Amino acid sequence: MIGVVGAGAFGTALAIALARDGRSVTLWARDIGDMAQTRRSPRLPDVTLPDGINITKNMVDIAASETVLLAVPAQSLRDVLTANATHLDAKQLVACCKGIDLETLTGPVATIARTLPNAMPAILTGPSFAADIARGLPTALTLACADDTVGQNLQQQLSTGTLRIYRTTDTIGAELGGALKNVIAIACGVAIGASLGDSARAALMTRGFAEMQRLAQILGAEPQTLVGLSGLGDLALTCTSPLSRNYRYGLALGAGTAIDPAMTVEGAATSWAVTRLGQDRGIDLPVCAVVAALTRGEISVETALQNLLSRPLKEE
């Protein structure tokens, strides 16, 4: 049995994909509403939830699962782990979120390890939209776990006919790739929203990717991880599609239009955290710094553009 904590779009989509492939899945949410009766999710209204999904609001039901997917926002992960330590301790815990904790400046794997040291932490990340997974469209993800034996077991558990899982032991690279690409997606959305053009977006993707690699390697990631699914693959998807919440958020910022306050945008908080990390390590991260200032309302789009264009000329 596999447990999924968090019945948002992504957690529900993973539960659907696994149940369709014959797994027994328990899906937990604080408020399940009438999902158990209607077999419909308000986040994925066009998809019927398979019978193999047991929907619950009781965390004790999750305790029966050896493997638990944590599909909660990165900034909520530590609180969820702390509040439910009795039920989650000593399990295989797979983070399904992308971000850096604002208080501890750690990614999801490190957050799990610090909060529940008896658990086996891992992360599932890569280029994916919940709607695609729920509809059974082909998707490839990266499963990162420091213990490769556990990683192989999780790879087998979580792979389905349409969900292809690759694995790595580089948890630092995988979690940073997933977190940092959201920051660059906001920047790309701003460029398109402000009518700066596709060339500007391409430049931001490229220079932003260089920042991702620079910081990740300083923090101990393996270089090849960032050019895989959890880095470059995810970056390409989220910087070009309006299905990306971070990209849509950037579009609204660039265009000066209203932003949906209910929309979870991991990249904003991540930009604040990564800017602090860069300052602490003495690393130049101009794109991330501009996104942090924009999302805090400290500068305008025009000032952000001028800040980037007026930087000293240099070799690539």
Residue 10 assigned as binding residue: yes
Tell whether residue 250 is among the known ligand binding residues.
no
Q: Is 43 annotated as a binding residue?
A: no
CB-facing half-sphere around the CA of 50: CA atoms within 13 A: 20
208 is in an annotated binding site: no
Question: Is 57 known to sit in a ligand binding site?
Answer: no
Catalytic residue, from 57, 91, 181, 314: name it.
181
Residue 128 annotated as binding site: yes
The answer on whether 195 is annotated among ligand-binding residues is: no
8 annotated as belonging to a binding site for a ligand: yes
Distance, in Å, from the CA atom of 186 to the CA atom of 284, rounded to the nearest integer, reads 19
The reply to whether 200 sits in an annotated binding site is no
276 annotated to bind ligand: no
CB neighbourhood size of 120 (10 A): 21
The count of other CB atoms within 10 Å of the CB of residue 86 is: 9
Q: How far apart are CA 34 and CA 37, in angstroms?
A: 5
> Is 41 among the annotated ligand-binding positions?
no
Does 181 participate in catalysis according to the annotation?
yes
* Residue stretches of the annotated binding site for NAD(+): 6-11, 130, 245
Hey, which residues are catalytic here? Answer: 181
Binding positions are 6-11, 30, 98, 126, 128, 130, 181, 234, 244-246, 266
Question: Which residue ranges are tagged as binding site for NADPH?
Answer: 10, 30, 98, 130, 245, 266
Annotated binding site for substrate: 98, 245-246
